[in-house]
Structure 1
Amino acid sequence: MENELINAVINANNAAVGKGDMDAILATFEENGALVGQPGQLAQGALALREAFAGFMAINPQISVIEHEVIQAGDIALHSSTWKMSGKTPDGHPIEQSGFSTVVLRKQGDGTWLMVIDNPFGDHLCKASGLA
């Protein structure tokens, strides 16, 4: 049951990004949640998240989770997944990316789950060292 609730948050975030719905995106994060917009670039808090996602949504990204796993320890969960993303640059050139995402979520007092840290570049160290 908890895995389904956790996966629902991830799916809601991806769907909101695809629709360009900033309020729905932010609703999947805790108030001081963080996003790794690029390796080494952390956006934390609603204002920074809004700015990071606004730039990302400019390419009209469509994100698909390929495989995923949830590890839960009490009110903390780690969602790991492989993903694919397609979009278009502002001048119309197609963009295709894929990777490995790690997301830390926390169970809220009302039983819902929200993202604390979203790192869609969880494999960047493997790629940088030639292991992926």
Structure 2
Amino acid sequence: MTTDHDAGSAHADLAEHVARWVELFNARDPAALDGLYEPDAVVVPQPGHPVTGADRSAALAEFMGLGVPMKAALRQAYIANDIALLVIDWSLTGTGPDGREIDLSGTATDVVRRSADGQWRYVIDNPSGAVT
């Protein structure tokens, strides 16, 4: 087994994966965003409440529905073969569709797996990290 912390090209690929997720989120493209997840992937929209399948898609669409752009940066990546733990700092700041100011931020802890096609896909997407 190989393990890497912030290892060169793999880290760059993961940073690119995070940037692609942000791009699709900001484009409000739920179908394309869903392509960055494994079929049985879990999203934790609220601490302690993991969802999968149609509920996962609905949670992501609701998050996109806030209507403000996301910024995110990969802080750390811990890689073991084709699995990686990502620590990502993110923020959503702006005026929502209802005119309300939105200012959210956090540190996500996510798990991704490199699939046979070489693409990283989310297995677990936990935007609140260790917050309970």
Deviation at 1:17, TM superposition (A): 1.2
Cα deviation code 1:45-92 (max 9, x no counterpart): 2x2222111211221131112451111011110110222112434421
The CA RMSD over aligned residues, in Å, is: 1.6
Deviation at 1:117, TM superposition (A): 0.5
Runs of 5+ consecutive residues of structure 2 not aligned to the other structure = 1-8
Match of 1:23 in 2: 31
Runs of 5+ consecutive residues of structure 1 not aligned to the other structure = 126-132
* Distance in 1 separating the partners of 2:35 and 2:29: 10
Match of 1:32 in 2: 40
Q: What is the aligned counterpart of 1:78 among 82, 85, 91?
A: 85
* Distance in 2 separating the partners of 1:68 and 1:4: 12
Q: What is the aligned counterpart of 1:8 among 10, 13, 16?
A: 16
Alignment of 1:43-58 (within 5 A): 43-45=51-53, 47-58=54-65
Amino acid aligned to 2:58? E
Q: Is the 8 A contact 1:104 1:117 kept in 2?
A: yes
* Distance in 1 separating the partners of 2:113 and 2:49: 22
Number of aligned residue pairs: give it: 124
- In structure 2, do the counterparts of structure 1 residues 74 and 67 end up closer, same or farther at CA, with 3 Å as the change threshold? closer
1:98 and 2:105 aligned: yes
1:116 and 2:123 aligned: yes
Identity of aligned residues (%): 30
* Distance in 1 separating the partners of 2:64 and 2:94: 9
- In structure 2, do the counterparts of structure 1 residues 37 and 87 end up closer, same or farther at CA, with 3 Å as the change threshold? farther
* Distance in 1 separating the partners of 2:69 and 2:96: 13
* Distance in 1 separating the partners of 2:97 and 2:16: 30
Higher relative contact order (CA 8 A, sep 6+): 2
* Distance in 1 separating the partners of 2:118 and 2:73: 26
* Distance in 2 separating the partners of 1:10 and 1:30: 15
Amino acid aligned to 1:119? N
Amino acid aligned to 2:19? N
